[in-house]
Structures are given as C-alpha cells and as structure tokens.
Chain A
C-alpha cells in the first residue's frame, strides 16, 4: 500500500513535468509564429517572398543553362575562322577576369568570427562589445589590403568580389552582393601566399585581432574561389568612348 502511494506520487510528478514541458513548448511555438505576424497580411507577404524566391531560383537556373548554350553556339559559329578563335579566347579570358568562372590557385584563407567569450588583451576594449564583432568595414579593410597584396580573386562566404560588389551591414548581418551573410566569415584570396599573408604589424588583421575578433589566417596551395552568383547585364548608363 505504502509502495503504491509512492508510485502514484512519482507518476503524478512525472505527469506534471510532462504537462509543463508541453506547455512551455506550446508557448515557444506561439511566440515563434507571433514574430512572423499573426495577421493575414503578414502571412501573405511571407508567401509572396517565398514565391519570388522560388521564381528567382528557377529563372537563375534557366539563365545558367542559357549561358552555356550561348558559349557553345558562339564556338560553333566561329570555329572555322582564325579571327573568331582569337576573339573567343579574348572573351573567355575577360569573363574569367570579370569573375564569371570558378578559379583555383595558391593563396590564403582568412576566417573572422565574432568573439562570444570576452578574451580581449586590452581590458578597456572589453567594455565595448561592438569591438568584438566583425563589421562590414573590417571586411572592406581586409579586401582592400588583400588587393594591395596582389589578390587576383577574392570571395567571402561564397560571394565573389567583382567590380560592382558592395559590402554593407544590415542590422546584425553583413550583406555582400545583396546576399546576407553571418559570422564566421571565410575570406578566400588567390595570389602569392607569401604576399597575401597579411597578418603583419600595423596591418588590418593585427588591428582587429587586438580588438578581440577571432582571426585565423593560413596559406594554401589550393584555394578555390567560386564564380559570381549574380547577374551581369549591359550597363544602362555608361558607353564605351570610341
């Protein structure tokens, strides 16, 4: 009898725990959906975003196919001609320089990440948490320094740096080529590994390291920089001066 009571109490406590766990979860889910907006309008907006994302992705796939098709057609049309071959080569070289192809070579890989545990060298810096996170200006500074060291191709978390690339911050994320990216940031650069190893006194790497940001830099014989994933259209405003 006594034993049964004990068991009943144990089961009772278990049930209570279970119920509270379920309740906690229900509230969590409710809050999660609340962020989306319980209104019909917000739901519709979300659906619309998803629809446009889908259509964009499908269209981009089609575009990739068309690019390949154009290349083949072009080759076919000019294969018999010396001048044609020459131009063809010039075009593919230009496209490579524009960042429209994936490239591989020697270089460095730099990883920057927000410092979530406070371990700055200078205790005064600890007081400002902004010092411990990676900012858009940091990425610009490092890209500028890599270019100065002769980088031939650079990407950040898969986003190729091309002529029109802007690096900005939007709230807690960094936007590059219109794509939102989060810490950690992996910056890949192709060039002379010795020159690109920019962890030097007075350099940007040293500056952000001292600020408390986590930095890792390593040389590599095989850095793969992806191609530009955006679109390149005929410019609207500039014309070549002949």
Chain B
C-alpha cells in the first residue's frame, strides 16, 4: 500500500516535471519571435531582406576592393615618398568631400518648394518637419550631397523655427520659402523616390504646398562653410 503510493507520487512528479519542461520549451519558442528573425519572415519580407543583404554585400565588397587597392598603392616598390604623399592627399580630399567641406558637382535634381496660396493668402507654411522629411527621403534614395537654399546639409545639420516666424534656421543661418533643394545622385532613384505614392510630393500637395522637380545633368552644390569640430569628444 505504502509502496504503491510512492510509485504514484513519483509518476505524478515525473509527469508534472515533463509538463513544466514542455511549457518552458513552448514559451521559449514564442519568445524567439522577433522582428529581425529570418525564421519567421514571410516571403515578401524575405525577398526585401535578401535584396538588402545583396546590396550591403556589394557595397562592402566595393570598399574592400578599394581599400586593398590603396594598400597595394602604398606598398609599391618603386613608389617614392612623393607618390605616397599624393595618395594621402587624395584620401584626405575624398574624406573632406564626404564631410561636405568641398564644392561638388554632378547629376541630380532641383526641387522648388513653396507655401501654397489661396486668393492671395498664404496657406500652411512649410515646417521644419517638412524639410527634415524631404531630406530624409533624398538620403534614402542615395543622395550624395544635399543643400537647401545653398546651405549644405551635413550629418550634424539642423533645421529650426522660432515661434510662428516664417524664418527658418538651417545650420543657424536664416532662410525662408521658397526653398530650392538640390540633391546630387542617381536622377532616376531621386525622382521616383519623391514621386512614389505616399512619397514626399504626395504629402506636400496634400498640405497645399507648391512643389516642382527638375533634373540637371551637371549642377554644383556649395560646401559647408563653417568648421566641423568635436569639442566634447574626449577620445
């Protein structure tokens, strides 16, 4: 009698243990559901992820080829000191170009954005959010250089408004509508990104703004005119 009780207790104990174990396994499976998880992606999502990885791979590969070529150049036997200096100068020039410290030219688009009017009265004026969103879309479309009313947009650029003033501060310089936004990059990408359904052109028109997009085979974007510094960075 006592023996069978023990057996029963052990059996029930084992069963409970198994049940808890199974539950934990299940909870783990549920926990693994994460936005990044490839395991649970749908087909369309998989396709875009695949395309993104292919693109990233190609970009990394380009930089790798570039870097290796530079290493080769520096290591060339017949290379003189002057050659090395010249190479270095080229590298500095490219870094400065990427920073926005040089005037640049190339193909791209020019967007003219202005406040809408009705019977001579200005409608909703273009906000900083408008301009921030537009710049973001241009970057997404691969713009290599952007300026608004000749104010170059760099990584730390900001757009501010003060109260209800029509004046906007870009890089702390005053400007106002109309805004002439220039972007250098692949004309096709830049145009289609803005004109896509739900893209910037759509929202600008919905707000009653006036917007015009032109293409240019060769235009110039001016450099960022102030110093770029890091005073609060310790290392």
User: CB within 8 Å of B: which residues of A?
Assistant: 7, 10-11, 14-15, 17-18, 21-22, 24-25, 28-29, 32, 35-37, 41-42, 45-46, 48-50, 52-53, 55-56, 59-60, 62-63, 66-67, 69-70, 73-74, 76-78, 80-81, 83-84, 87-88, 90-91, 94-99, 103-107, 137, 140-141, 144-145, 147-148, 151-153, 161-168, 172-173, 178, 180, 182, 190-192, 230-241
What is the distance, in angstroms, from B64's C-beta to the closest C-beta of chain A?
5
Contact between A32 and B98, CB atoms less than 8 A apart: no
Sort chain B's interface into a size bin.
Answer: 35 or more
The residues in B between 212 and 235 inclusive whose CB is less than 8 angstroms from any CB of A are: 220-221, 228-235
In the A-B complex, the 8 residue pairs with the smallest Cβ-Cβ separation, listed nearest first, are A94-B95, A147-B158, A166-B140, A148-B158, A52-B53, A238-B104, A241-B103, A77-B84
Q: Could you name 5 residue pairs across A and B whose Cβ atoms are closer than 8 Å? A: A78-B88, A97-B230, A105-B234, A167-B136, A240-B103
What is the distance, in angstroms, from B128's C-beta to the closest C-beta of chain A?
7
Query: Is B208 in contact with chain A by the CB < 8 A criterion?
Result: no
Query: Is B145 in contact with chain A by the CB < 8 A criterion?
Result: yes
Knowing A81-B85, A94-B99, A241-B104, say if A7 contacts B8 (CB, 8 Å). yes
In the complex, what residues of A have CB within 8 A of residue B43's CB? 37, 41-42, 45
Q: Mark B37-59, 1 if CB is under 8 A from A, else 0.
A: 01111110011011011111101
> Which label, helix, strand, loop or mixed, suits the secondary structure of the B interface?
helix
In the complex, what residues of A have CB within 8 A of residue B61's CB? 59
Contact between A180 and B53, CB atoms less than 8 A apart: no
The residues in B between 1 and 46 inclusive whose CB is less than 8 angstroms from any CB of A are: 4, 8, 11-12, 15, 18-19, 22-23, 25-26, 29-30, 34-36, 38-43, 46
In the complex, what residues of B have CB within 8 A of residue A141's CB? 129, 132
In the complex, what residues of A have CB within 8 A of residue B157's CB? 147
The residues in B between 84 and 118 inclusive whose CB is less than 8 angstroms from any CB of A are: 84-85, 87-89, 91-100, 102-108
A180 to B34, CA, bound (A): 11
In the complex, what residues of A have CB within 8 A of residue B87's CB? 77
**Could you say which of A50, A230, A234, A238 contacts B105, with CB atoms under 8 Å apart?**
A238
In the complex, besides A7-B8, A49-B41, 10 extra interface pairs with C-beta distance below 8 angstroms are A25-B25, A25-B26, A28-B26, A35-B42, A59-B57, A103-B235, A140-B136, A141-B129, A182-B35, A231-B62
What is the distance, in angstroms, from A3's C-beta to the closest C-beta of chain B?
8
User: CB within 8 Å of A: which residues of B?
Assistant: 4, 8, 11-12, 15, 18-19, 22-23, 25-26, 29-30, 34-36, 38-43, 46-47, 49-50, 52-57, 59-64, 66-68, 70-71, 74-75, 79, 81, 84-85, 87-89, 91-100, 102-108, 128-129, 132-133, 136-137, 139-140, 142-145, 154-160, 184-186, 220-221, 228-235
Knowing A52-B50, A137-B129, say if A97 contacts B99 (CB, 8 Å). yes
Contact between B92 and A105, CB atoms less than 8 A apart: no
What is the distance, in angstroms, from B33's C-beta to the closest C-beta of chain A?
8
In the complex, what residues of B have CB within 8 A of residue A15's CB? 15
Task: Specify which of A88, A95, A99, A236 lies most central, judged by the most chain B CB atoms within 10 Å of its CB.
Answer: A236
In the complex, what residues of B have CB within 8 A of residue A144's CB? 128, 132, 158-160
What is the distance, in angstroms, from A191's C-beta to the closest C-beta of chain B?
5
In the complex, what residues of A have CB within 8 A of residue B229's CB? 152
Contact between A240 and B97, CB atoms less than 8 A apart: yes
